[in-house]
């Protein structure tokens, strides 16, 4: 959930999280996740249109005040106010065009929380040969009620450096949304309870990485359809691919992370967590940050379904 190895000793980072006040009275009745996903994708398309037409500043028209914003080579920003200046410094340049295209959405059962994932492309007029800069993003969205507008509560994008390869425009078999609640599982839980459980799962995930290595941890905590959204043209998917991603991680290396408990958001059966991470390989330490999207499975256990992130100072 934090790094995707690009070579035996190179690791591109992590994923999960952002926040909205947890005191919101969210309705917990089950909703049609198909219609919720359509609504999420429509909100994402509106954001993408505004970014392309109005420029980078339009991002903040769609952002919740307490959103977590993760951009490459920066710390986690924990509010729209905090994120504005560094976001504009990085992306609001004359001749730059910001393109974002959603590929998939997952939704909570209550209809008031979900996440979209997709491709980003920066068209930079000053780049040599005018080659676009490619990347991926996760945007997590929340609304106060079924008739309220969606706001981004968590956002991360992978590095958008020049000369990155173009990414696949099809996720093939992406993760599914929150599963129907089993009759024996009891009443729906509040968003605050769901987020705490997901953060506890994130911490347990990190503990396995510290004790047995990242390959074991990712293999154990990945859902069957989970994806790592790194810079690879096609995301790695499933526990076996997760273990293989870390097969060359040194036995004496360390890969650890911790969710920030004040960050994140959740709905019934779906959540996102976010935090800082580091790895130590060959005595060299690198740091990153992440957003991870979690789903409560039919057996009641939390497993991650998307993970992505970027470096930090």
Among the residue ranges 65-79, 135-149, 293-307, the one predicted with the least confidence is 135-149
Domain extent at residue 297: 1-313
pLDDT category, 144, cuts 50, 70, 90?
confident
Q: Note the pLDDT tens digit of each residue in 34-76.
A: 999 999 999 999 999 999 999 999 999 999 999 999 999 999 9
State the pTM of this model.
Answer: 0.87
Please state, rounded to an integer, the average pLDDT across all residues of the chain: 86
pLDDT in tens, 77-100: 999 999 999 999 999 988 888 889
What is the domain count for the chain?
1
Whole-number pLDDT of residue 16:
32
| 198 burial via Cβ count (<10 Å: 0-12, 13-18, 19+) | buried
DSSP code for 68: E
Share of the chain above pLDDT 90, in %: 63
Tokens of 103: 């590929």
172-181, 192-201, 213-222, 281-290, range with the lowest pLDDT: 172-181
CATH code of the domain containing 222: 3.10.450.50
Which CA distances in Å does 170 have to 32, 74, 130, 199, 307?
A: 24, 29, 24, 30, 17
DSSP letters for 90-156? HH--TTEEEEEEEEEEEE-TTSSEEEEEEEEEEEETTSGGGPPEEEEEEEEEE-SSTTSPPEEEEEE
pLDDT surpasses 50 at 221: yes
Question: Would you state the structure tokens that stand for residue 70, as one six-digit string?
Answer: 């993760």
Question: Which of 10-19, 139-148, 264-273 has the largest mean confidence?
Answer: 264-273
Residues 290, 277 contacting (CB under 8 angstroms): yes
């Amino acid at each position: 959930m934090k790094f995707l190895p690009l070579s035996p000793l190179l690791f591109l980072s992590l994923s999960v999280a952002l926040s909205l006040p947890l005191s919101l009275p969210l309705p917990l009745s089950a909703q049609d996740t198909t219609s919720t996903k359509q609504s999420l994708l429509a909100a994402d398309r509106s954001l993408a249109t505004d970014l392309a037409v109005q420029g980078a500043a339009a991002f903040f028209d769609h952002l919740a005040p307490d959103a977590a914003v993760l951009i490459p080579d920066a710390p986690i920003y924990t509010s729209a106010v905090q994120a504005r200046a560094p976001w504009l410094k990085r992306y609001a340049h004359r001749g730059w065009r910001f393109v974002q295209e959603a590929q998939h959405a997952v939704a909570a059962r209550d209809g008031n929380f979900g996440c979209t994932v997709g491709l980003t492309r920066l068209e930079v007029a000053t780049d040599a040969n005018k080659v676009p800069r490619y990347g991926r993003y996760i945007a997590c969205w929340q609304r106060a009620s079924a008739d309220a507008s969606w706001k981004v509560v968590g956002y991360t994008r992978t590095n958008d450096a020049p000369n990155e390869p173009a990414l696949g425009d099809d996720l093939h078999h992406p993760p599914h949304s929150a599963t129907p609640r089993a009759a024996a599982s009891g009443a729906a839980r509040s968003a605050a309870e769901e987020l705490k459980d997901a953060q506890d799962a994130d911490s347990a995930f990190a503990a396995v990485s510290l004790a047995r290595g990242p390959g074991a941890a990712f293999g154990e905590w990945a859902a069957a359809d989970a994806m790592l959204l790194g810079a690879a043209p096609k995301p790695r998917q499933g526990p076996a691919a997760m273990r293989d991603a870390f097969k060359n991680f040194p036995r004496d290396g360390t890969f650890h992370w911790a969710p920030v408990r004040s960050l994140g958001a959740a709905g019934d059966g779906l959540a996102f967590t976010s935090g800082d991470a580091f790895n130590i390989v060959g005595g060299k330490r690198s740091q990153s940050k992440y957003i991870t999207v979690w789903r409560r499975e039919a057996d009641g256990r939390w497993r991650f379904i998307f993970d992505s992130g970027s470096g930090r100072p």
